[in-house]
Structure 1
Amino acid sequence: MQDIVITGIGLATPLGHDLDSFTEGLFHAEPPFVSHSTRYTRDVPVARVDDAGLADEAGGGPLDRASLLAVAAGRRALTDAGLLSDAARLKATAVMVGNGSGPTHAVNDAYHQLLATERLPGLTLLRCLPGGAANALALRFGLQSSNQSYTCACASSTVALGEAMRAIRHGYAERVLVGGSEAPLGDGTLKAWEALRVLAPCGDDPRQACRPFDRDRRGLVLGEGAAFFVLEAAAAANARGARLHGRLLGYGSSCDAHHWTEPLAAGQVRAMRGALADACLEPQDVIAVNAHGTGTAVGDRVEAESLHEVFGARGLAVSSTKSVHGHLLGASGAIEMAAALVTLQRWQAPPTRNLQHADVPGGFDWVSGAPRPLPQGRAVLSNSFAFGGSNASLVIGR
């Protein structure tokens, strides 16, 4: 079985556009949440990406905001991997993108313009294609191997990463530019999430709105952003002298087939155990978990139950980085794989912000306050559990 390595990382996140600023934000910065409202919604806390230089990096074309974020992060990943000017290798590269909401800004803009003028620009349909981010990446960088999009709600980019690993293992792709992008802060999308009654209120300080695993949690905070990676077979990466950020060791997925919104511990357990089995690892080989941890009461409780079923009560470090970068929906798995890589590089687990009074079962180290030193070990597990019952887990190693 081929060893799959990560040779490029590209980010466009609320914590910054490069790995150093992302790492600093992950471990030490205050959550960059701000109050936001639209013509249809009350004030809600959100996590935005700084637009400085974003459009210039992404280039022109009929891009929805989610596609623009994807192209910017994808360019950075290809540059980091030393591939941006290597036309031959780019031609042999596949692209796989996870996105949970689709081109929401383009759709919102089209409805507003239709209502106002009863006309639409000629490129409206292209901006509204669900696979627009993958199309934009392939067109911008000449990626000719294959072009695939995955939509599995909040598990989308985790599934994309796992399927990219499988494609390389089985010889369907030489390398893959893979990740996720999301831009859900438009009128219609925010109103739909508000109607579901899972968004945290701003309160006195938006930075304290997201409180995973805490007794005072009040809901999740939506964010926008993108994270992309270059995955390659280790032999091919070594042959071209590529720098290695880490390894993608295992992937597991499952479906609860239970409820539209309520998670099921048994399904989550199957995904985690599947990822460990795929990586040929045992639970004791994992030194930390990046939890799905959105800050909803049912979600936190069920994930704690499933973690206990897989790992037992052995003091394993568990963090929820959504408490600092927000919930990027379909892009969450990708940004959280970057967090898992940083965890391994530093041998530290990032703290869950605003976690003061944990109300989940004992037996784990629910990391809060300050980064937690970790023993050097083999792997970090990252979880993505989605509406509709889609579960996906990744095992990341050095």
Structure 2
Amino acid sequence: MEEAKEHIVIRGCGAISPLGFDQKTSAQAYLSGKPAFSNILHQGNPTPVAALSAAAEQELQQLIVANPHYLQLDRSVLLAIYAARQAAARAGWLNNDINSSDDLAVNIGSSRGATGLFEQHFSGFQNNEAGMVSSSASPTTTLGNVSSWVAHAVNAGGAQISHSITCSTALMALANGMAWLKAGMANRFLAGGTEAPLTNFTLAQMKAVGIYSPLQDTPYPCQPYALEKRNTFVLGEGAAVFALEKATATSITSGDIVIEAIGVGFEKIESKTGISREGINFQKSMRHALSQLPSDDTINAIITHSPGTRAGDRAELAAIGAVFGEQHPVLTTNKWLLGHTLGASGALSIQYAIQLLRQQQILDFPYPSQINNTNTPQLKRVMVNAAGFGGNAASVIVTLH
């Protein structure tokens, strides 16, 4: 029976990114279509990045000064704490009591983890003749400290999971949340992704791959699906976390956002970035997600992974064509606004999906593009794609009730 069917509902969303630090500021940024890029000097050259705005940075600094323990944490962990507390508060779960909530589990992932703090400690190690490091170096740079510090911040006593599956990380956290809730291993679940990759070493790594954008003198240095085929990858930072809960049809109200399906895909890698021309991993993840829907349900829009690279964008378009044919759903992405946030990108795309479902507005690309979004349908069901180095991909379908 439909009433007995289990649904996974997003009870709260928290996010901090170059576009905003709460639901209001993020919505304003999406509706305005104003990109969040700036240039920094890296390796002697102007380099476009998407960093937090001054207002968002001030919010993050207020969080830090509120708890002296936070001074020792990596920026990726701080971003996750900020987003998680916001999501928990919106869901009515923020527990400041002494007793922890044992039914609340946490899974926050990151592609790179505590990269800024790791680089800092390693630099200190290299420059110290005795090879000494701080006693906090190991505990604050392990990947596991992301979810454990989030759990402390929201007083969650359930499972605490940190993981990395490169740029699919955040969507896999949602998949874990769905599985744990449906299995009855948790009653409530905080899932998301975080990334603070705007460091010298991480920027150098992206440039070494040969994908970084040379368009530092334009308002849109990251240009997914541009007519001129070139690499325009730009790094950004941010985090997004979602408060998930299992519900029956009778407990869902109008305006609720439901995670209907999550699909995963994998292909054996043939290159260092792990993606084929046909986007086999995307084909598998999208078909896996679609197989979980009733046959008559329609996807109205796809928020693509589209990192702004020639190979990545081309492969995803090929995969969408193979799965949906020429009459595919409307395609959109937020990377031309905030760049690629690696392990947090899928979570910020889910936040964007919620924005689309509630505002019913998709912006057209502001540069010559292969994609035309002038005829936007009514949006009820949106698919979000993500893929990462190694050949993995994930697709999540969210619906507005």
TM-score (ref. length: structure 1): 0.90
Residues 298 and 227 (structure 1 numbering): CA distance in 2 closer, same or farther, change over 3 Å? same
Residues 161 and 115 (structure 1 numbering): CA distance in 2 closer, same or farther, change over 3 Å? same
Residue 102 (structure 2) pairs with residue 98 (structure 1):
no
1:348, distance to aligned residue in structure 2 (A): 2.3
Q: Map 1:10-21 onto structure 2 (within 5 A).
A: 10-21=14-25
Q: 1:66 aligns with which of 49, 67, 76?
A: 76
Q: Is the 8 A contact 1:5 1:244 kept in 2?
A: no
Q: Is the 8 A contact 1:294 1:320 kept in 2?
A: no
Query: What code does the residue aligned with 2:395 have?
Result: S
Residues 357 and 35 (structure 1 numbering): CA distance in 2 closer, same or farther, change over 3 Å? same
Partner of 1:331, secondary structure, is helix
Please name the residue that 2:390 is paired with. Answer: 388
Q: Map 1:47-86 onto structure 2 (within 5 A).
A: 47-50=50-53, 51-58=57-64, 59-61=67-69, 62-85=72-95
Please name the residue that 2:289 is paired with. Answer: 275
Q: 2:324 aligns with which of 300, 311, 316?
A: 311
Deviations for 1:224-259, whole angstroms, at most 9, x for unmatched residues? 000011000125994xx9996401110001111123
Q: Distance in 2 between matches of 1:182 and 1:76?
A: 17
Percent of aligned positions that are identical: 27
1:138, distance to aligned residue in structure 2 (A): 1.2
Partner of 1:285, secondary structure, is coil
- Of 137-146 and 383-392, more deviation after overlay is shown by 137-146
Residues 52 and 86 (structure 1 numbering): CA distance in 2 closer, same or farther, change over 3 Å? closer
Query: What code does the residue aligned with 1:43 have?
Result: P
Deviations for 1:372-391, whole angstroms, at most 9, x for unmatched residues? 642244x1000001111010
1:111, distance to aligned residue in structure 2 (A): 1.6
Deviations for 1:130-160, whole angstroms, at most 9, x for unmatched residues? 1221111112222111011221111100111
Q: Distance in 2 between matches of 1:281 and 1:151?
A: 33
Q: Distance in 1 between matches of 2:183 and 2:37?
A: 42
1:29, distance to aligned residue in structure 2 (A): 3.1
Gaps of 5+ in 2: none
Q: Is the 8 A contact 1:27 1:351 kept in 2?
A: no
1:78, distance to aligned residue in structure 2 (A): 0.7
Please name the residue that 1:192 is paired with. Answer: 205
Deviations for 1:293-340, whole angstroms, at most 9, x for unmatched residues? 111111111111110111111152100211101100000000000111
Q: Distance in 2 between matches of 1:393 and 1:30?
A: 27
Q: Distance in 2 between matches of 1:22 and 1:319?
A: 17
Residues 256 and 223 (structure 1 numbering): CA distance in 2 closer, same or farther, change over 3 Å? same
- Of 255-264 and 122-131, more deviation after overlay is shown by 255-264
TM-score (ref. length: structure 2): 0.89
Residues 352 and 293 (structure 1 numbering): CA distance in 2 closer, same or farther, change over 3 Å? farther
Residues 236 and 111 (structure 1 numbering): CA distance in 2 closer, same or farther, change over 3 Å? farther
Gaps of 5+ in 1: 359-364
1:34, distance to aligned residue in structure 2 (A): 0.6
Q: Is the 8 A contact 2:303 2:349 kept in 1?
A: yes
1:122, distance to aligned residue in structure 2 (A): 1.5
Q: Is the 8 A contact 1:81 1:242 kept in 2?
A: no
Q: 1:43 aligns with which of 29, 41, 46?
A: 46
